[in-house]
Structure 1
């Protein structure tokens, strides 16, 4: 286990019009930052009564091996473009811990963990999935777009009973050249076989987000949160 980082990640926060009743912590993809998914707040068209507070943290800046060591915001290093390339276990575990700290920060503000969802795109989706499955208190749900479940065997070995029934929204582009569709689908199959309640969605798109996906996610959120 890597040394724990005691510094909370900086983040953009979008407060609801009404009192905050729920929180979604949303992790961006490789090379982006917290601003990347801010527009989705209005695009989801969630009812004001849901009182959702969105938190968009900025990943640390680090050198990325596959990009010749160029420094960018990332949740973990990528050493190879192949699926079986070296996994940055240390970086993944560090980011899981940092996301756990953000959950704890929300809880300290009075938010019940059951009212906190984890979301992410690409690398961010991977960290959201791994954290949600492992987290020791019940969470509200996991949203993973164009991602996969990293360190799958280890993650299931450390899976928490508190989140065995956590609702999960998985979505992937069938033309994704960055995170292969097969990898996303395999993660869905593994989670389903482990009896997690997963809602799987695929779209004719590359490594991106589309309008139909946002609409499906909006409907899912309203169903899960019964609003």
Structure 2
């Protein structure tokens, strides 16, 4: 008797670990798209409304400042969090204590790989709708960290309009910065045939930023061939509360230092008296920065 035929794998697709994103339609014609990532333990439903409704001026909320923008709020998948005794929560990736961010970095790998791939798919979808110059990626806290890694590993042909991060940090910052520094000290003129070692591994003579991002993609088990580094042409604004009790402001400063070494055009703002959240001043700075970075229509037509 013949054995039953197995299901055709091409017709079966495992469910996505990421819920469908919350999509807030534009107030007017759809011309731009924001993709905004929440922090660890949150979700799109809880995160989106207060952010969009925050006033950034006497007459404008954050949402109404961009009447032609669609806002896409994805929700992180459920993962076990080591720092919360392996409780299952929404998080973009797992990690150890941020008091020692350079330890147990292996915890981050699977989540950062899966989340980066997912964010890249959202970027591609948005680009297909409104064009690459009209797409912004933004995140808060762990969502900021995930957004930064997604930008560094993004291999699109053109850069997106801008990236914004709030109260975040940069995973694998120390390793990437060491690679760039070693490259600079090995060959200050940017040429030559030197091969040196980073943490026991041979590194060739490509420029330091390319080496660093290649390391990141290899660490995350993502294809690293033919890096074009579009992230170097993405204007980036990072903001952080000086009184942040969850992600120390020093981690934000270190992220900026590393990103600048990687050739990323990064603007940095610190906010006195602000803890681990955004503020009216932070969102106002974001709105004003986009006015400089783009030719978008930012307020409702009269």
Query: Contact 1:61–1:72 at 8 Å: present in 2 too?
Result: yes
Q: Does 1:58 align with 2:75?
A: yes
Pair 33,47 (structure 1): closer, same or farther in 2 beyond 3 Å: closer
3-state DSSP class of the match of 1:213?
helix
3-state DSSP class of the match of 1:100?
helix
Q: Does 1:68 align with 2:85?
A: yes
User: C-alpha displacement at 1:103, in angstroms?
Assistant: 1.3
Q: Of residues 230, 238, 241 in structure 2, which corresponds to 1:173?
A: 241
User: After superposition, where does 1:96-175 map in structure 2 within 5 Å?
Assistant: 96-108=116-128, 110-137=129-156, 138-152=159-173, 153=176, 156-157=213-214, 160-175=228-243
1:86-115 CA distances to partner (integer Å, 9 max, x unpaired)? 12111111111111111122234x221221
Q: Of residues 202, 212, 225 in structure 1, which corresponds to 2:281?
A: 212
Structure 2 unaligned spans of 5+: 1-13, 55-61, 177-210, 218-226, 297-302
1:38 corresponds in structure 2 to 49
Structure 1 unaligned spans of 5+: none
TM-score (norm 1): 0.89
For this pair of structures, how many residues does the alignment match? 220
Query: Contact 2:37–2:147 at 8 Å: present in 1 too?
Result: yes
Q: What RMSD in Å do the two structures reach over aligned CA positions?
A: 2.0
Query: Contact 2:238–2:268 at 8 Å: present in 1 too?
Result: yes
1:83 corresponds in structure 2 to 101
1:16 corresponds in structure 2 to 26
1:46-86 CA distances to partner (integer Å, 9 max, x unpaired)? 142xx111100010011111101111100011233422231
3-state DSSP class of the match of 1:17?
coil
Query: Contact 2:116–2:153 at 8 Å: present in 1 too?
Result: no
Task: Provide the rounded CA distance (Å) in 2 between the counterparts of 1:83 and 1:193.
Answer: 19
Query: Contact 1:66–1:79 at 8 Å: present in 2 too?
Result: yes
